[in-house]
Amino acid sequence: MSRAAARDEGRVAALGELQALLGDRLTTAAAMREAHGRDESWHAVAMPDAVAFARTTEEVAAIIRICSAYDMPVIPFGAGTSLEGHVSAVHGGLSLDLSQMNAILEVNAADLDVRVEAGVTRKQLNDYLRDTGLFFPIDPGANATIGGMVATRASGTNAVRYGTMRENVLNLTAVMADGSVVRTARRARKSSAGYDLTRLLIGSEGTLGIVTEVTLRLYGIPEAIRSGVVPFASIEGAVDAVIETIQSGLPVARIEILDPLSIRACNAYSKLTLAEVPTLFVEFHGTDASVAEQAERFGAIASEHGGGASEWATKAEDRTKLWEARHNAYYAALAYAPGKKGMVTDVCVPISRLAEAIRGTLADLETSFLKAPIVGHVGDGNFHMLLLMDPANPQDLAEATRLHDRMVARALSLDGTCTGEHGIGEGKIKFLEAEHGTGVAVMRAIKQALDPKGILNPGKIFSA
């Protein structure tokens, strides 16, 4: 029997055992497999052999043990909102959908933490928390699952003030490649007890373990919130205002850049009437007195750099509308260019190099036939280029790849990273070596030690 035939026979046997375990929560229907082989990006769909819907950590462990016995790949799936092809089944196997594990297990208001199943989405969590006066700040825009946000080390608009998933997870429960269940830490705010398995799993993109439960830090909803929009005469002016804001230690809660093209797309998609100029969306959290003070200090910095009059969204519904528009910038860009898909780059550089990084990207775009709105969590030095392209058109794909590669190379040359928050997936494998050099061998050694059969999301982070 050939190796391929043996593999196929093993997978048939695995699916039989999975069917016995899960009943109709295992499916091989083409539509379901197709939906689980794609994320929100331009990356090609690679369908899994089947999709399993798990309901408990123990069930996930049983699934992993079956897949391990038959060397069958397992690709965890949450909301499918990833952007680097994280969920595509490049070697077939099982898509393990955790969206039914969506219970909010325990709110510890006194300790400002909450324990949730991995399939809970960030909007679901914040809706649930509303009456407690607490909130979970990490906000990647998309309504991702908490498990997915762990997997990609997500961040988003609030990270400049509250940190990323790296700083806001107290512990995880994960099923490892051998089916063992690990709780990575206790509920204490800090610990020096052994290796930091929590942080090792955060950002591991499902390649080291399947996260099933997460304990998150929460924060009190600020007494006062002030959001606003500031138009600028130039991108440089807007970026310089951001840099000075961060360097001055002003504790801004959100500070986002949108270029004129992004504003045009958002105006159309979210029914806004903003001037089509470089714009900052900002937000301050604190007491009434402190947000007033912050807004005033920021206003002074902005006007020094060509910022116009700030428009403040004082009512909660205006704030919501503003941030929904920002969150929908990617969808707005796609709607702006019907028939195109998004190659979304995501780099992050030291704040002092941000102007140089954005300027270089804009210069590249000026001479390109492709359009690409620029938006970003610029307070972290993180920004995105939303390349609108048709991956089936070789010219589009070549040009988008060229622009994308140049932006990443520029970020690396400025001591930045090839991805601030989207992850490596399959889309950025080629940059991992350029960024980490000898560190990649260390990562591979860890992968080999914890998943010797390579069944956990193979073909992501590393080529396989």
Kindly write down the DSSP assignment for every residue of 309-327, as one continuous string.
Answer: PPEEE-SHHHHHHHHHHHH
CB of 370 to its own copies, least distance (A): 24
Nearer to its own copies, 16 or 439 (CB): 439
CB of 35 to its own copies, least distance (A): 24
CB of 88 to its own copies, least distance (A): 17
3-class secondary structure, 46: coil
Q: Are 342 and 141 in contact (CB under 8 A)?
A: no
CB of 307 to its own copies, least distance (A): 20
Question: Which letter, b or e, does each residue of 357-384 get, where b requires 16 or more Cβ atoms within 10 Å of its Cβ?
Answer: bbebbeebbeeeebbbbbbbbbbbbbbb
CA dihedral 76, 78, 83, 86 (to 10 degrees): 0
| Nearby residues of 278 by Cβ (< 8 Å), 6 or more positions away | 231, 232, 233, 234, 235, 237, 238, 257, 258, 259, 260
CB of 102 to its own copies, least distance (A): 23
CB of 464 to its own copies, least distance (A): 14
The two three-digit tokens of residue 394, written as one number = 């070789």
Nearer to its own copies, 180 or 234 (CB): 180
| Nearby residues of 131 by Cβ (< 8 Å), 6 or more positions away | none
Number of other CB atoms surrounding residue 221 within 10 Å: 15
Number of other CB atoms surrounding residue 280 within 10 Å: 28
Nearer to its own copies, 208 or 337 (CB): 208
CB of 424 to its own copies, least distance (A): 6
Q: List helix spans (H) across 195-345.
A: 197-201, 235-247, 260-270, 288-304, 316-327, 329-336
Read off the DSSP letter of residue 264: H
Q: List helix spans (H) across 169-234.
A: 197-201
CB of 247 to its own copies, least distance (A): 6
3-class secondary structure, 50: strand
Nearer to its own copies, 12 or 442 (CB): 442
Nearer to its own copies, 367 or 438 (CB): 438
Nearer to its own copies, 293 or 318 (CB): 293
Nearer to its own copies, 143 or 180 (CB): 180
